[in-house]
Amino acid sequence: MTEPGMPGTVREYLASLEHALADLPAETSRDIIGAIREELYGLDAASAAERIRRFGDPQFIASEARAAGARSAPAMNEANTGSPQGGLRTSTLAAPAMPVAAVALAPRTPRWFSGVILVVMLFGGLVLPVLGTLVGFVMMWCSTAWTRTEKWIATLAPVLTYLALYLASVAQRSILGPGEMARFHREPLIPQSILVDTVGMYIQAAVLTAVCAALLCRAVTRRDNTEGRVV
């Protein structure tokens, strides 16, 4: 999978890296490529080239990973295979920026799928009461389109609203009493909007809509920022 707009040098560097790390344990090579991809994500060609210079030659990264892997296995006193003392930074900086093919960028939930999640959150409850909405929220939590804080806010806002409305409804019932409540429902001249039970539904729907709208904005603007980001 290639990220549209990803500079050729990034694609080439990542592919070259993947090739160089091929003989390392899968977890190590996945982690290294993942970390480097994270940092090159959304950079323009010039910034990416600078960052790639700092990462260094894929072959050097691979040889260091191999040496560290061998050291960190069982033996504590194995012979050193690292760089000469004092030459650490220099050797990294001097490594040439390598080019080659396409590797996926950080696995971010695509924008269209974020939209699907929001639709399920908003309207899932109409198809399958309660469960449909829950499915939407679970999908939102599994998505990588939002930060953990955003997910908490998006979850707590409707839940707290529901709790507040529930308490208000209980309070109204106990203040008015059953007889008065029934009269309110019957009496055509009393506006129904003064009953928490009636207006609560709309408030709840408005809060959920606002939350979904905010999440949509975050998902869309974050992606835009990222693509045009210059570090």
Report the candidate in 142, 161, 162, 160 with the shortest Cα–Cα distance to residue 151: 142
Task: Kindly indicate which of the ranges 66-74, 131-139, 177-185, 195-203 contains the residues binding other proteins, using the contact rule CB under 8 A.
Answer: 66-74
What tokens appear for 209 in the block?
Answer: 């809509």
User: What angle, rounded to 10 degrees, do the helices at 58-72 and 26-40 form?
Assistant: 140
Phi-psi region of 135 (alpha: psi -120 to 50; beta: other; left: phi over 0): alpha
Q: Least distance from C-beta 105 to other proteins, angstroms?
A: 7
Report the candidate in 5, 8, 85 with the shortest Cα–Cα distance to residue 52: 8
Q: Does 55 bind other proteins (CB under 8 A)?
A: yes
Near other proteins by CB under 8 A: residue from 112, 126, 148, 179 = 148
Q: Least distance from C-beta 122 to other proteins, angstroms?
A: 21
Q: Does 198 bind other proteins (CB under 8 A)?
A: no
Near other proteins by CB under 8 A: residue from 37, 48, 122, 165 = 37
| Strand, coil or helix: 124 | helix
Rounded Cα distance, 112 and 219, in Å: 10
Which residues make up the interface to other proteins (CB under 8 A)?
25, 27-28, 31-32, 34-39, 41-42, 55-56, 60-65, 67-69, 71-72, 79-80, 82-86, 88-89, 91-92, 105-108, 144-148, 222, 225-226, 229
